[in-house]
Amino acid sequence: MSTLEIHTFLCRKDNIGVLVHAPDGSTASIDAPDAAAVQAALTEKGWSLSHILVTHHHGDHTAGNLELKEKTGCRIVGPRLEAARIPGIDVEVEDGDTFLLGGHRVDVIGTPGHTMGHITYFMPDDHAAFVGDTLFVMGCGRVLEGNHEMMWHSLCRIAGLPPDTRIYCGHEYTVANARFGLTVEPDNALLRQRLEKAEETVAAGALNIPTLLEQELRTNVFLRPHNTETRRRFGMGAVADWRVFAELRERKNRA
Ligand SMILES: [Zn+2]
């Protein structure tokens, strides 16, 4: 199997631009937050855009769609459930679909909650998942259109991928997420260590993306509602995991 090259860059204020380049020349932009920023990254790498893979309909993920399509002739793939709200969509996909990008398999996983049609693109042979605004580094997206139980189920689907999966998310919120996480799990030494590293990374002008799923399982409090310390702190006993997740999300919203 040939190797993919994945390039990340910051665009807008805190959106993450991601280009996925296969040796046959195929290049996908994961979402299109800003046409000029994506174009600049393409020029820097010397790649030409063949696809945009859209995770969900929000404007900060689709604003560049039409301009990039006009300039490059790329094909836009996106969630069927949100097709009407995705500018320039050519190919509609949904949970369970599989397609090839430059000969590399891409599995579509439905991850609703942040929006109702949100999808994740998982490339199993390349150990990479593009999760949009569902999971963030040590955090998770806001539950805007779905409900907490639905969002929890979506997070479980990502958490169930192989632990060596590299997670590419839609925003750089790492430091704020880790600080919140430490209010929930103050004794989590790895979480504390990751916060320090994340602060250094941001100070150096670099990105904390991607993250490794295995690290998230140990430090992302939103994936750890089963944690007995957390349950004790919240005064929640033997309730379903999604209820503890909902409490975590509500607390983060107020933080
Ligand atoms: Zn969003």
Give yes or no: 97 in active site. no
Residue 119's Cβ-count burial label (10 Å; 0-12, 13-18, 19+) is buried
Give yes or no: 7 in active site. no
Taking alpha carbons only, the member of 44, 38, 41, 60 closest to residue 52 is 38
Q: What is the pLDDT of residue 201?
A: 97
Q: What is the pLDDT of residue 183?
A: 96
Rounded to two decimals, the pTM is: 0.97
Give distance in angstroms: CA of 147 to centre of ligand 1: 15
| Domains along the sequence of the chain with CATH | 5-254 (3.60.15.10)
| Under 8 Å between Cβ of 31 and 54 | yes
Give distance in angstroms: CA of 56 to centre of ligand 1: 7
Give distance in angstroms: CA of 251 to centre of ligand 1: 19
pLDDT per residue as tens digits for the range 161-209: 999 999 999 999 999 999 999 999 999 999 999 999 999 999 999 999 9
Q: What percent of the chain has pLDDT over 70?
A: 99
Separation of alpha carbons 114 and 145, rounded Å: 6
Catalytic residue of the set 51, 56, 57, 148: 56
Alpha helices by DSSP H, listed for the chain, are 35-45, 59-62, 65-72, 148-159, 174-184, 189-203, 213-219, 228-234, 241-254
| Under 8 Å between Cβ of 20 and 27 | yes
Average model confidence (pLDDT) for the chain?
A: 97
Judged against a pLDDT cut of 80, whether residue 105 lies above it is answered with: yes
Q: What is the pLDDT of residue 255?
A: 86
Give yes or no: 118 in active site. no
Separation of alpha carbons 117 and 94, rounded Å: 8
Q: What is the pLDDT of residue 61?
A: 98
Judged against a pLDDT cut of 70, whether residue 39 lies above it is answered with: yes
Other beta carbons within 10 Å of 162: 11
The neighbouring-strand residues paired with 122 are 107, 129
pLDDT band at 237 (very low <50, low <70, confident <90, very high): confident
Judged against a pLDDT cut of 90, whether residue 2 lies above it is answered with: no
| Under 8 Å between Cβ of 82 and 95 | no
Separation of alpha carbons 19 and 30, rounded Å: 6
Which is more confident, 38 or 237? 38
Q: Which tokens go with 143?
A: 């539950």
Residue 67's Cβ-count burial label (10 Å; 0-12, 13-18, 19+) is middle
pLDDT per residue as tens digits for the range 132-155: 999 999 999 999 999 999 999 999
Catalytic residue of the set 51, 133, 148, 153: 133
Residue 164's Cβ-count burial label (10 Å; 0-12, 13-18, 19+) is exposed
Give distance in angstroms: CA of 178 to centre of ligand 1: 20
| Furthest C-alpha separation in the chain | 56
Give yes or no: 60 in active site. yes
State the number of CA atoms in the 13 A half-sphere of 217 facing the CB: 14
Residue type, 84: A
| Under 8 Å between Cβ of 34 and 64 | yes
pLDDT band at 1 (very low <50, low <70, confident <90, very high): low
